[in-house]
Structure 1
């Protein structure tokens, strides 16, 4: 019975006990939080008005974001302690017994020297000796200490609005006219040059407006433009020319007949595209036609184009 009591007492000594608290630690940090308040897109054109008169539309898109910026001071107090482990008392009690006379002697010397010795040194010796002698307390150990949050406080230091405006680089811009629609990717400056000839088929079907649409991060912006009457007529005429050669080239590719090309008509149409302002399309058509002609016909086409432009 007596042996059982001793075992229980020893078990209580090794398992029971309390954590050895170290000085409370406090941290103070300054945090900045940016919250998006609004996001708008702005579509602008080189026309300077709601009426389009140029066959190539210069478009730029910018995104404007408004942020609420808050600065906080974040204070956190931590309870720092050494968790109790009963088995450590097997060597901590002897350490405490050995350290106590040293601690007492050092503190007596410090007293005679009028406190010239550092308090951190003298107090540490006493803490180690008394903690070692206490079977319910471990010696402080910073190598295995733990932290728990005691209190936390968040204080607002400053609040302001921040406005950021920049090009929609790499964004997508869609332009539609009736049932015709083209999609374009904006460059690093948020700009794109949009040819209006691809929507010529829609104009022949009665479309009177261009609708530009940009989208980014769930935000959309639209801009409606009217097509000038002269530009509308030029687009229809240019669309008819390019459409004619598109079908002619397709039939020529599938036919085995050696049809004689009408070089003068080709040159006239290429020059007409250039005069109407579709210079890029004119050069594209010229290059495409040259690839279908023989060497002597290619030279003749080039001469006729020069004559048609003079």
Structure 2
């Protein structure tokens, strides 16, 4: 007989305990989002000219090219804001709410006499605050302790375009296959591979039977790769071993005329860059022995017809 009353009382008690959230004005925020979709990815190895290697040194340029579809969006997020219910706040909100109602009614009466000159904060906000305050199942609005939930996300497309990028293959590995051996080199910050067949690791290999080099690069992120062959002339292959001895055999035990012979012979082989580098190394080696340096420069001019000077003298001046 009393069961319906008990159920009703239980529901009212649950309502008082759980309370209701006091909803605040919705808040929104906007931001721009950029979506980049990779359409194409390629690697390019420029072995330079001529296609047949006639000199032991070559600068090889390597680039990475990408094509993107770029879409710009304006994203609007809307949030539902509310003041969460805390029962213990009713201890002070109910009496303050009653006072606010009385003050709001008085303000409205006074506003009639003042021809509507009072602000809405006195005539409307006080009454709203008061009724929320005396409601035992609701707290008054509070921006300070408000919470929010994401209500919706709207995206508006602003622009769609295609972008291209070409960047150097900087500080990345390059595999060079020479005959039955494979070497791994590294590009510099500008994406340049400085290939020198007189230097390591090629100096340790007999390249007389190697007619071409195969350069390979690969991006492990998506397995994009590129290969490029570089032919090595028969004439160059015949010079490499002799040129290596002329450059790298010990210099300090040689006589001055032997130094001159090395420089002259490199020039005769058509390796002028290597001849100049060896020439400058010998000038540097004799920097602290002016008489020996003078003898070397004199014989260089007389026997090889090369006019050279110590670059350090210009710096000292």
Tell me whether the two structures share a fold, i.e. TM-score over 0.5.
yes
Partner of 1:197: 198
Query: Which residue is equivalent to 2:163?
Result: 162
Equivalent of residue 263 in structure 2, options 267, 270, 275? 270
The answer as to 2:213 corresponding to 1:210 is yes
> Which residue number corresponds to residue 275 of structure 2?
282
**How far 1:128 sits from its partner (Å)?**
0.6
2:22–2:85 contact (8 Å) kept in structure 1: yes
Does 294-303 or 141-150 show the bigger shift? 294-303
Preserved CA contact (<8 Å) 1:173 1:186: no
Q: Structure 2 vs 1, CA of residues 217 and 35 (structure 1 numbering), >3 Å: closer, same or farther?
A: farther
Residue correspondence of structure 1 range 47-196 to structure 2 within 5 A: 47=49, 49-111=50-112, 115-119=116-120, 122-178=123-179, 179=181, 181=183, 183-187=185-189, 189-196=190-197
Match of 1:232 among 212, 230, 237: 237
| Partner Cα distance (1:177, 1:10) in 2 | 88
Q: Return the alpha-carbon distance in structure 2 between the equivalents of residues 241 and 21 of structure 1.
A: 89
Tell me if 1:307 matches 2:302.
yes
The answer as to whether partners of 1:209 and 1:227 remain within 8 angstroms in 2 is yes
- Alpha-carbon spacing, 1:139–1:234, altered in 2? closer, same or farther (3 Å): same
- What residue number does 2:28 align with? 26
2:47, 2:228 within 8 Å by CA — same for their partners in 1? no
Judge conservation of contact 2:211–2:233 (CA < 8 Å) in 1. Answer: no
Are 1:172 and 1:186, in contact at CA under 8 Å, matched by a contact in 2?
A: no
1:32 Cα deviation (Å)?
1.3
Q: What is the Cα-based RMSD across aligned positions, in Å?
A: 3.5
More displaced stretch, 148-157 vs 298-307: 298-307
The structural deviation recorded for 1:19 is 1.0
**1:35 equivalent in structure 2:** 37
1:95 Cα deviation after fit: 0.5
Secondary structure of the residue that 2:25 maps to in structure 1?
Answer: coil
Alpha-carbon distance in 2 for matches of 1:303, 1:84: 100
How far 1:42 sits from its partner (Å)?
A: 1.5
Q: Distance in 2 between matches of 1:153 and 1:193?
A: 53
CA contact (8 A) 1:14 1:87 kept: no
Q: Mark the CA change 1:290 to 1:137 in structure 2 (over 3 Å): closer, same or farther.
A: closer
Query: Deviations for 1:76-114, whole angstroms, at most 9, x for unmatched residues?
Result: 221110011111111111111111111112234445556
Q: Secondary structure at the match of 2:76?
A: strand
Separation of aligned partners in 1, 2:261 and 2:77: 82
